[in-house]
Amino acid sequence: MDRGLEPPPAPGNAGPMTTTRNHPLSDRTAVITGATSGIGAATARRLAADGAHVALLGRREDRLKALADELRPTAPGTVLPLAVDLTAPDALATAADTIRSTLGRVDLVVANGGVMLGAPFETAATDEWDRMLDTNLRALLHTARTFTDDLIATAAEGRPADLVHVGSVAGHVLYPNWSVYAATKAAVAHLTRNLRAELGPRDVRVKNVEPGVTLTELGEDMHDRDMRQTLTRMRTTLRPLAPEDIAEAIAYAVAAPPHVNIAELVVVPVQQG
């Protein structure tokens, strides 16, 4: 049976948790942004395999539908692909309404969508700065805000509620010629810490997962050819992480007991140190 066509749970996800060893995220409803490729797609696969209902958000509708078609035959929960521009708050709000009406209240958000564009500061194309600010920071802020009420309501019922930001080690490590990208990820790191202080007392677990060098599509669309070559060398001079490595870390963190928050998780290749 195509589990993606089963009736969704009642809105609000009421009732006791029914997790199992094989499906530790059963009865949970996850939203994953940037699900069209890389870490987002890998995380969607892992959370779906662990039993969660998953909403796949991203710009490229064809990729989202292809991923949903891949997952539905074996996913225990429902898979919902939604093409949305995360930098447009109204579009994100409309997508959230569709998610709630189809899957119920959201209790797990993985804000993963991002872009990585490097260049020397004095020659960088400033439209790339704007793209990074819009996607890495503003879209992440609006994603978190859109689902915060859901998370607070879920936590008030004594159920796990997770807001996961996918940051980067660039938020606290020096990377010359990646200054603006690093600044957006530093902002994500400090935002996460402050949201932990704000939402933690209400039992919402806010966490930042910070990958090191990872083999994804990030950086392929950089204007600066030299920086594209630099990124390629970075990924070939050591054994980089795979997107599935980060998905594994996220799955581990959100499956922890409800009173445990794995607040900051740095995941790097061994050779990166």
The residues annotated as belonging to the active site are 181
Q: At what angle do helices 243-254 and 38-49 cross, to 10 degrees?
A: 50
CA 198 to CA 194: how far, in whole Å?
Answer: 6
Question: Which spans in 3-162 are helix H?
Answer: 38-49, 61-71, 89-103, 126-132, 139-156
Cβ neighbours of 111 (radius 10 Å): 28
The Cα–Cα gap between 167 and 170 comes to 8
Q: What residue type is assigned to position 5 of the chain? A: L
Q: What is the sign, positive or negative, of the torsion defined by CA atoms of 56, 61, 65, 71? A: negative
Paired tokens of 143: 């994603």
Q: Nearest CA to 207 among 192, 228, 218?
A: 192
Q: Give yes or no for a contact between 131 and 174, defined as CB atoms under 8 angstroms apart.
A: no
**The pair of three-digit structure tokens given for residue 106, joined into one six-digit string:** 């959201």
Q: Taking the chain, what is the end-to-end CA distance rounded to the nearest angstrom? A: 46
